[in-house]
Structure 1
Amino acid sequence: MSPPEIFDRAARRRRRDIVPRDYAGHAFLREVMLDGLAERLDSVSRRFTDMLDLGCFDASLPAPPGARVARCDAGFTFARTARGVQADEDRLPFRDGSFDLVVSAGVLDQIGDLPGALTLARRTLRPDGLFLGAFLGGSSLSVLRAAFRGARPDRPAARIHPMIDLRSAGDLLTRAGFRLPVADVETLTVRYGGVGRLFEDLRGMGASNLLIARTAITRGELARVADAFAAAADPDGKTPERFDIIFLTGWSPSPDQPRPAARGSARASLADALQRFPPAD
């Protein structure tokens, strides 16, 4: 059974067609993601020949030397500019085993069926292919979230996407069939002079509210949100907002990959170790 839709696919496509007009001025989070993914890729000592850029935005993700790259985005304008394919991440048109590297930066937090999207990404990989992903999760936008809660305490409305925490992210990799899964997080703090500037960044990077259950915000609610956001400011008048970037690393299954030892297969016991190396008094 398919999971319930929580994101408005049509609205997401429309907004991604608006974002490119001023995307470069708001792409700082994705730039941090790309730097982190490049570091992780540099630590892998192997050659890749076919890469999928999943959620390509402006095609700023570079391909490894000598690799062919296919780019895919849910927005028509981004896909056309990148000379790629327009498709949702959980509805990929690529055949199984098409790539040996799939990289995704900045879109996995906007997919209702994220387990399905990760499973599809794994299926497009050849045996021992690498998946690298980065997205906003954890406690991101904690100040803005609190401001929205305080603005309508009696009738809270969904204004910010639900966030995936670090542990759940690792579990999703395992559930999707990846081997050797690793999930880690980097936290970035950005200081804003007002909530309006934060809204501009969120719209400009394609991270505004895409929930199906979204409702229009009233002037009164917006004023209360602005006041609460300003009340959390530092002495210089700027409010620090938190962005947790979760990085994912996983490998498609292959017979020659190392596997964890089976439970109970250890040949040495803790008692034996303590006898050989007794604790200090």
Structure 2
Amino acid sequence: MEGQAPPQIFAPARRRAARRRADRRAVQSDAARYVLDDMVEDVVERLAFLRHEPGTAFLIGDRFGALAAELRALGCAVTQADAAQGLDEEQPLPVQGFDLVASLSSLDTLNDPVGALIHLRRALAPGGLALACLVGAGSLDALRSAMLVADGDRPAPRLHPMIDVRAGAQLLQRAGWGNPVVDTRALSVRYSSLSSLVADLRAQALGNCLARPGPPLTRSQAALAADSFGQGTIETFEILTLTGWRL
């Protein structure tokens, strides 16, 4: 039905708490940041390839300020925001008329991603570029397998559903982005243990923020999961990038 509210898959309060916790960890010198670093590098490369030189930019989720620093070095005026700072991405953005709007690791845990993409497009000036990077479907296979072993015959919702290339294209079409492009690339990371992966996910605000998460693992389940995950395991993040313009 037109105007029907989207299903509440994620809990906004848990999402904000996860991002605030990640912000607190970000000040530590050894804080994990490789997923965001990969996204920043990708955005910078795309801007160069597209020969798009924004004079103004609105950045969502650039928690370490790396993309802002790159853009400011090019003379771009940057505005930054994040859910941890009170931004509601499912509402119109507070400022409009930007040459570039970029969202990093944020859209995948919204209940209304189409609405958020519409707001990103509307925040652009005519001819402006929008880029959204997120962890997509196909990610964290080793973790998923370990959780299934731990849960046995009664699997619980441990990881949230993720967007794949086809779904991303459908979202952009519904949001009205001009010249939409969706692509994916793999980022592989080796972990010494399951606990090191979990710590890195929390440090990067990539943990479970479902509205109805599964129960905590028992001690025996946690041991099963750790044994299943093993040591020196390579885990993969599939980074999905959505690109489009305001025509």
User: TM-score, normalised to structure 2's length?
Assistant: 0.90
Q: Counterpart in 2 of 1:38?
A: 44
Classify the secondary structure of the residue corresponding to 1:47.
coil
Q: Counterpart in 1 of 2:66?
A: 60
CA distance in 1 between counterparts of 2:238 and 2:210 reads 20
Q: Which runs of 5+ in 1 are unaligned?
A: 77-85, 231-236, 254-281
Q: Is the 8 A contact 2:93 2:120 kept in 1?
A: no
CA distance in 2 between counterparts of 1:126 and 1:100 reads 6
CA distance in 1 between counterparts of 2:79 and 2:244 reads 20
AA in 2 matched with 1:60: A
Q: Is the 8 A contact 2:36 2:62 kept in 1?
A: no
Match of 1:18 among 1, 10, 21: 21
Q: Is the 8 A contact 1:55 1:89 kept in 2?
A: no
CA distance in 1 between counterparts of 2:51 and 2:18 reads 38
Shift of 1:67: 2.2
Q: Which runs of 5+ in 2 are unaligned?
A: none
Shift of 1:126: 1.8
Q: Counterpart in 2 of 1:257?
A: none
Classify the secondary structure of the residue corresponding to 1:168.
helix
Offset from partner CA, 1:235-274 (integer Å, 9 cap, x none): xx41111110111110112xxxxxxxxxxxxxxxxxxxxx
CA distance in 2 between counterparts of 1:187 and 1:93 reads 30
AA in 2 matched with 1:117: A
Classify the secondary structure of the residue corresponding to 1:22.
helix
Q: Counterpart in 2 of 1:246?
A: 240
Classify the secondary structure of the residue corresponding to 1:228.
helix
Classify the secondary structure of the residue corresponding to 1:163.
coil
Does the alignment pair 1:104 with 2:111? Answer: no
- Of the structure 1 ranges 194-203 and 159-168, higher mean CA displacement relative to structure 2 is found in 159-168
Shift of 1:223: 1.3
Q: Is the 8 A contact 2:182 2:242 kept in 1?
A: yes
Query: Greater relative contact order (Cα 8 A, min sep 6): structure 1 or 2?
Result: 2
AA in 2 matched with 1:33: M
Does the alignment pair 1:170 with 2:169? Answer: yes
CA distance in 2 between counterparts of 1:17 and 1:164 reads 24
Classify the secondary structure of the residue corresponding to 2:185.
strand
Q: Counterpart in 1 of 2:7?
A: 4
AA in 2 matched with 1:228: S
Q: Is the 8 A contact 2:47 2:53 kept in 1?
A: no
**CA RMSD, 1 decimal:** 1.6
Taking the TM superposition and a 5 Å limit, the aligned residue runs for 1:71-220 are 71-76=80-85, 86-95=86-95, 97-214=96-213, 215-220=215-220
CA distance in 2 between counterparts of 1:139 and 1:239 reads 16
Offset from partner CA, 1:79-110 (integer Å, 9 cap, x none): xxxxxxx3122124425x42121011111212
CA distance in 1 between counterparts of 2:190 and 2:10 reads 28
Shift of 1:151: 1.6
CA distance in 2 between counterparts of 1:191 and 1:123 reads 40
Q: Counterpart in 2 of 1:229?
A: 229
AA in 2 matched with 1:239: T
Offset from partner CA, 1:29-59 (integer Å, 9 cap, x none): 1101110111001112243222110223132
Q: Is the 8 A contact 2:182 2:240 kept in 1?
A: yes
Classify the secondary structure of the residue corresponding to 2:190.
strand
Q: Is the 8 A contact 1:100 1:125 kept in 2?
A: yes
Q: Is the 8 A contact 1:182 1:249 kept in 2?
A: yes
Tell me how many residue pairs correspond in the alignment.
Answer: 237
AA in 2 matched with 1:71: Q
CA distance in 2 between counterparts of 1:191 and 1:122 reads 37
Offset from partner CA, 1:145-173 (integer Å, 9 cap, x none): 11112222322111111111112112211
CA distance in 2 between counterparts of 1:50 and 1:194 reads 42
Q: Which runs of 4+ in 1 moved over 3 A?
A: none
Classify the secondary structure of the residue corresponding to 1:121.
helix
CA distance in 2 between counterparts of 1:18 and 1:146 reads 26
Classify the secondary structure of the residue corresponding to 1:26.
coil
Classify the secondary structure of the residue corresponding to 2:50.
coil
Q: Counterpart in 2 of 1:278?
A: none
Q: Counterpart in 2 of 1:277?
A: none
